[in-house]
Structure 1
Amino acid sequence: MFKTSLSLIALTVSGASIADESTIQRNLNQTEMEHVIVSGSRVFESIDEVPASITIISQKQIEAHLKVNPELQSLLAQMVPGLAPDTGSSSNSGQTLRGRAPLIMIDGVPQSTPLRNGSLGVKTLDPSAIGRIEVIKGATSIYGNGASGGIINYITKQAQSDGQTQGEISLSSRFSAVKLEESAGARLSAALNGRADKFSYLVTASYEENGVQRDSQGDILGLQYGLSDAVTQNYFTKLGYDFDDEKQLQFSYNYFSSQQKTDLGDVVGDMSLGEKTYAIHVPSELQKQGKPQGPEGNENITLKYTDYALLENTQMTLDLYTQDIENVFFFSPNLANPDENYQGGQSVISSEKKGARATFNTQVDFDSVEASFIYGIDALNDVTAQPLVDGRVWVPEMDMKSVAGFLQTKWVIANDLIIKAGVRKENIDLSVDDYRTLKLCKTATQCSVPISVKGDTVDYNATTYNVGIKYNLDEKFSPFLNYSQGSDISDIGRLLRSATVNDIGLIQTQASIIDNYEIGFNSQFDAVRLEVAAYRSTSELGTTNKFNEVTGVYEPVRAPQEIWGYEALVDYTISPSLKLLATYSYVEGKNTEADIYLGSKQISPPKATANLNWQPTDTLSLTLSYLYVGDRKRFEPNDNGKYVGDQGPVDNYTVFNLSGQYQFADSWQGFIGVENLFNQDYFPARAQSYTYGGYNIKGLGTTATVGVTYQF
């Protein structure tokens, strides 16, 4: 199977017949398709030829989890070793990949806002529009800034190839099984796709209204980044036109909105006393102030042209893309300034991107060596700011222009030895006009001191390298070793808004170069597949927070960091109808200058997962999933006996989920899902470790989903 899979993929992908995903799907079955990736090198290649840790989440796995929880955070936490546990909210703050921020993409187009990372990038597309998810771990510069932890790429669905129009409509309701009152929500999703001669089309739409979310005691979860009463909409379109067998034009559009519109208010508890924050109905003056929090109609437009035979054995892909993001955050009293009659404030991360990419892939065959040369140019203009809704400027407008050239090579020697090496040269100009930091008051006497900062254009030039080797000695043992670098200037906005000097040139805005080392192996036995990897990453200028007792502001601290860990995966086909997928991951990290452990904004506790799928017949399928989050207690309380920042201790907890589906007619399928099957009473890891106000929110109690799908 190993050699057969490799050969089929090579025939499908190589030379002048290099294919897009729809062509690959026509030539390969589902099992073989799961051995093909695109994210690691920007062209399709066999997963067996990549010397790095990769997680592929199939459409079947996505659909099974969607029946339990429609949030992509939850799916990724369950399926991806090395990714931090689910936060149970709309924010993925603290949900790092191997201790660093991943770059979120849709079909290779960045969705994150690295210049001012608001940690909302994971939730940018409805799962019903996704055909598969590719996760490449470890720092990489193949897609540019913001991928210090790796890449999470949502690969959208493709139009079917048989020329017939196909469609699907799904209707479901999600509600608390602990206390039904006000908890019932409704979700409707629909998809239509087909081909007409040279034209292909795919349209998906989803609309969801949540009821209130309740914990194991029946109380409504706290509202900070909460999902109670949230309204989520997603409309995605992909249109394609084949000029001939070798030339294709594709257009895609994505609109995503998810906002919490509620009449509730928080009852704030103290995490140091083990008290939760929960929500109740309150008079209008006590309700959440300001605009509804969440993405306010984010839009992406992509135009891609591919010539599969530009020259002999050379493929060309040209991409143009634009993105408009407005992420609204909750009203916070910490953004107060009584002197100017501001009792608090609400911020918005606004980001506009315009990008162009040219990627070429040339295949050359020697006597016993197959060589691939992937090269091109990327250009991006990213304009990001974080103003307050009331007109104050918290983070000034940052205008980033970047141009990068790259070369990635792969050498397959005698079908067994794979060597990859690459280089990327990046030139970035970041312009910021003169600005003044905000005066922010935590109390009437605890205020930051505003500073007038002289703006400037800061130049960044970085050359990053990667090299890896993999030896497919045998199906039973396939070791790999790799070294990769990433260049990261992410979250400059947080540095600017906390400036303590009067010139941008004096702020430590230098780029961080991340060096990532990884060693591991894959093994395939008759019924068992094993994946094991260990890694270490270092950076001379990481960014953490330190609380200023005088001003009440968390100020950035730039210091060298080291992060290390290991992961393991076991995929066991117990019988033709029973399959088990289990993972374990451990990560730890330190500020090496001060020799202190990093907080939970970067480092998550140990995590184990298991997914047991039973399909006794073609019409019935059941999946039981298990999540274990371990202890992490690295810090001591302060002189007042309280933990600060992201240093709270984490106690372990366990959660079980159950989902099932039954095909009761040719075109009809019913499904159920139960989250937190045994109604475990727990605080998620982030709620335990974050001491910032309002994060101490319990996990969901037992929550059920029931629905039906009609296909035509």
Structure 2
Amino acid sequence: MSLSVALLTMATAVSDANNTATDLVDLDNVIVSGSRSSERVATIPASIDVLDQQTIEESLKVSPEIQQLLSIKVPGFSPAKASTSNSGLKLRGRNALILIDGVPQSTPLRNGALGVRTIDAAALQRIEVVKGSSSLYGHGASGGLVNYITKQPAPDAAFSGDIGLSTRFSAVEFEDSLSKRIDSTVSGTVGQFSYLVSGAYDSYGEQKDADGDTLGLVYGLSDLDTQNLLTKLGWAFDEQQRIQLSYNYFDSQQDTNLIDQTGSYDEGRKTIAVDNSTGTARPGDPQGPKDNYNLMLKYSHDEIFANTSLSVDAYQQRIKNIFFFSTALANPDEGYSGGQSLIKSEKQGLRTDLSTLIRVGEFENRITYGVDYLQDVSSQPLVDGRIWVPEMDMTNAAAYLQNNLNWNDEWMIKAGVRYQQTDIEVDDYNTLKLCRDASTCSTPFAVKGGELDYDLTTYNLGIRYTANPLFSPFINYSEGYDISDLGRLLRSATVTDLADVETEASKVEHLEIGASSDVGNLHLEFAVYQSTSTLGTSTVEDPSSGVYLPVREPQDIIGAEMLADYRFSSGTVVGMTYSHIRGENPDTNDPLSNRFISPDKMTAFVDWPVNHAITVNADMTHIGERNEFDPNDQGKYANYEGPIKGYQLVNARITYQASDWQVYSGIENLLNEDYFPVASQTLTTNASYYTEGAGRTIVLGSRWQF
């Protein structure tokens, strides 16, 4: 059982006036699909976090950003920055694969770290976080996976839904900071037909820090308009078989007239956004996801034959994420003063899952098995037509088998294997000439393309004792792999033949030991883990060109996570979590950089149901310090190696519920902490990223259910 189950249980206490103790979600019985089969969280021999719909809705009362929710609620996630990018957001020191209903949103062939912001939180029913290496959905999940499970049509009403209105603004500097948000969901079931339509529109004003200055624009949220539309149409042929068509559209573009006033990491001067008084138009196109969509057709049969269920998903996806304008993409010889890159990815795939239940005496055995097919064509061109990363055409075919053995309701033994064949084709291409200034440029050259083939087999094995809630220990071993951000390797190639580029897949082995305990109203959890890989992915700057080159190095990461909470008879819940992580290169004993390893993180929370109508919540996040590296002779730190200064953030909210209508107010950064997020402190050589976090921000809103 995951370390944040108690936190989620706490969140369910924040309920409307009609809630009673029986309305609270028993998370021991939450069914998760992250393992490709239905399971009870309490029996899984691994760390699983399930953030339910009410937890998501409560987070919207402070911030609509999902990465903020994951960072606060999920031990093991590194501290987040309110940003359009999830760069620096690691799960146990490694990348997490982001999915919507099992469809990959991440672009691991060219990891632009934009996968978290691919859907609005209002469209979600729950979020499932599977910690530790996993190959269940292919490569890219070396640290685990995050599966966004979208809302389902209401089964017991022909027409029902809700509508929410809210606004956010800076309590430090109100001018130009007003944000506007509306979201609504309607759904129902009429006979054999079901439907759901969920839409959200969120228009950000300028985001202000603790001094009232507007935050820098690189990956920023200022002047950002987000639109999300989720639609589902379903038909039940009978009680056992159904078909459903789903479509999700997401667009989030920053269109602003502001420009950055660049600061300096070495001088401790922050980057802020200011009015454009240069007399020339702001360069570049609006940044952010543009017209992205997911389309899925799902067929399911509860008993296709004896004791066996079937699920088949066919899907198509298009991603187009536009980055900020950068002078680092300049080429004066060709008349380019800079440029904007964009990640393009088109995926289509088919997933089949069969699950067979076999009972023999004291043993209940569930075998889940199936095959997957995925084609992913990804590239990273520039908006002006130059090619930075050529098209990478990947074909994935895989077969997997998972076996869950329940022995007398006392032991759960889980074992699985997945075999995957991956083929990637890359045409001949030329590296791009890029200039930091007129005299510091990379040298372009031709690279011969070709085909890369990977045959990968990964295993997992876990055991959990489930008979006694006073002490329920588990041990879990799992494997995953990464094809190591191939696009970054190609754009920084130093050889003239693809066959000579070091493209070997990185296999990650993850070992975890943990336990949970329930003693009366006290809940405790603890887990320790080790994650090792012989080939990681890092980068080092080439001082002659300013280009970041890939470095392959072994990585050994260890960590611990703890949770404790107590529920009083009045319904008030208090608790805390703690996460610790360390990492090193085992060949050199050098610590891993801040790109992978974050400082210690502690959270504390309280939920207080004041009366039948009013609920008050507060949470605190403490980020520790990390100082593992020495500066050079000039007193400057290498990228990702600067000291991290700690900080504390407090959020609070109050909700008044009257029947089907509620009003609420939330405060982000209640104490107006003046701080730089961890992600801002890691990139020491790029001042554009050196922005502070948001200052005290007020949220006012209401929601009506019908």
Q: TM-score, normalising length from structure 1?
A: 0.94
Paired residue for 1:145, among 139, 146, 151? Answer: 139
Query: 1:10 — aligned with what?
Result: none
Distance 1:531 1:59 in 2: 23
Query: 2:73 — aligned with what?
Result: 79
Contact map agreement 2:409 2:467 (CA 8 A) in 1: no
Distance 2:257 2:329 in 1: 22
Contact map agreement 2:166 2:700 (CA 8 A) in 1: yes
Distance 1:310 1:471 in 2: 32
Return the offset for 1:639. Answer: 2.1
Query: 1:268 — aligned with what?
Result: 262
Contact map agreement 2:161 2:184 (CA 8 A) in 1: yes
1:686 aligns with 2:685: no
Paired residue for 1:50, among 44, 54, 61? Answer: 44
Whichever residue aligns with residue 396 of structure 2, its letter is S
Contact map agreement 2:173 2:212 (CA 8 A) in 1: yes
Paired residue for 1:243, among 237, 240, 248? Answer: 237
Query: 1:669 — aligned with what?
Result: 662
SS at match of 2:68: helix
Query: 1:223 — aligned with what?
Result: 217
1:428 aligns with 2:389: no
Return the offset for 1:591. Answer: 2.3
Matches within 5 A, 1:214-613: 214-283=208-277, 288-613=282-607
Deviations 1:463-514 (A, max 9, x none): 1011011112410100000111002214110011000000101101111110
Distance 1:591 1:620 in 2: 52
Contact map agreement 2:75 2:578 (CA 8 A) in 1: yes
Whichever residue aligns with residue 673 of structure 2, its letter is Q
Query: 1:131 — aligned with what?
Result: 125
SS at match of 1:74: helix
Contact map agreement 1:65 1:659 (CA 8 A) in 2: no
Contact map agreement 1:264 1:287 (CA 8 A) in 2: no
Deviations 1:423-475 (A, max 9, x none): 00000000000001111111222111112110001100011011011112410
Deviations 1:600-633 (A, max 9, x none): 2221111111221111223211110111111011
Query: 1:176 — aligned with what?
Result: 170
Contact map agreement 2:421 2:454 (CA 8 A) in 1: yes
Whichever residue aligns with residue 159 of structure 2, its letter is T
Distance 2:118 2:575 in 1: 27
SS at match of 1:128: helix
Contact map agreement 1:577 1:616 (CA 8 A) in 2: no
Whichever residue aligns with residue 660 of structure 2, its letter is S
Structure 1 vs Structure 2: percent identity of aligned residues? 49
Contact map agreement 1:656 1:675 (CA 8 A) in 2: yes
SS at match of 1:88: coil
User: What is the aligned length?
Assistant: 684
Return the offset for 1:281. Answer: 0.4
Quickly say closer, same or farther: Cα 1:555–1:138, change in 2 above 3 A.
same
Distance 1:525 1:302 in 2: 44
Paired residue for 2:35, among 32, 36, 41? Answer: 41
Distance 2:253 2:604 in 1: 32
Quickly say closer, same or farther: Cα 1:529–1:172, change in 2 above 3 A.
same
Whichever residue aligns with residue 67 of structure 1, its letter is K
Query: 1:696 — aligned with what?
Result: 690
Distance 2:174 2:540 in 1: 42
Contact map agreement 1:145 1:490 (CA 8 A) in 2: no
SS at match of 1:75: helix
Contact map agreement 1:412 1:418 (CA 8 A) in 2: yes
Distance 1:357 1:581 in 2: 40
Return the offset for 1:34. Answer: 6.0
Whichever residue aligns with residue 520 of structure 1, its letter is G
SS at match of 1:426: strand
SS at match of 1:273: coil
Quickly say closer, same or farther: Cα 1:649–1:286, change in 2 above 3 A.
farther
Quickly say closer, same or farther: Cα 1:158–1:321, change in 2 above 3 A.
same
Distance 1:436 1:281 in 2: 39
Whichever residue aligns with residue 459 of structure 2, its letter is Y
Quickly say closer, same or farther: Cα 1:125–1:179, change in 2 above 3 A.
same
Distance 1:291 1:241 in 2: 42
Distance 1:246 1:475 in 2: 34
Contact map agreement 1:36 1:44 (CA 8 A) in 2: no
Paired residue for 2:64, among 59, 70, 76? Answer: 70
Distance 1:284 1:397 in 2: 37
Contact map agreement 1:95 1:601 (CA 8 A) in 2: no
SS at match of 1:694: helix
Return the offset for 1:241. Answer: 1.1
Return the offset for 1:30. Answer: 5.0
Paired residue for 2:634, among 626, 630, 640? Answer: 640
SS at match of 2:328: helix
SS at match of 1:402: strand
Unmatched segments (≥5 aa) in structure 2 = 1-21
Return the offset for 1:29. Answer: 6.3
SS at match of 2:266: helix
Query: 2:159 — aligned with what?
Result: 165
Quickly say closer, same or farther: Cα 1:34–1:456, change in 2 above 3 A.
same
Whichever residue aligns with residue 309 of structure 1, its letter is E
Whichever residue aligns with residue 156 of structure 2, its letter is D
Query: 1:190 — aligned with what?
Result: 184
Distance 1:320 1:300 in 2: 11
Distance 2:322 2:413 in 1: 45
Return the offset for 1:575. Answer: 3.3
Contact map agreement 2:62 2:667 (CA 8 A) in 1: yes
Question: Which deviates more from structure 2 when the two are superposed, residues 237-246 or residues 276-285?
Answer: 276-285
Whichever residue aligns with residue 377 of structure 1, its letter is V
Question: Which deviates more from structure 2 when the two are superposed, residues 117-126 or residues 468-477?
Answer: 468-477
Return the offset for 1:596. Answer: 1.8
SS at match of 2:499: helix
SS at match of 1:98: coil
Deviations 1:6-34 (A, max 9, x none): xxxxxxxxxxxxxxxxxxxxxx9652366
Return the offset for 1:236. Answer: 0.5
Contact map agreement 1:385 1:395 (CA 8 A) in 2: yes
Deviations 1:549-581 (A, max 9, x none): 111111110111111111012232133321124
Contact map agreement 1:276 1:697 (CA 8 A) in 2: yes
Return the offset for 1:284. Answer: 6.0
Distance 1:68 1:287 in 2: 34
Return the offset for 1:174. Answer: 0.4
Distance 2:493 2:539 in 1: 13
Quickly say closer, same or farther: Cα 1:29–1:308, change in 2 above 3 A.
farther
Query: 1:200 — aligned with what?
Result: 194
Deviations 1:192-238 (A, max 9, x none): 01110111111110001111000011010011100011001100112
SS at match of 2:436: coil
Q: TM-score, normalising length from structure 2?
A: 0.95
Distance 1:285 1:199 in 2: 58
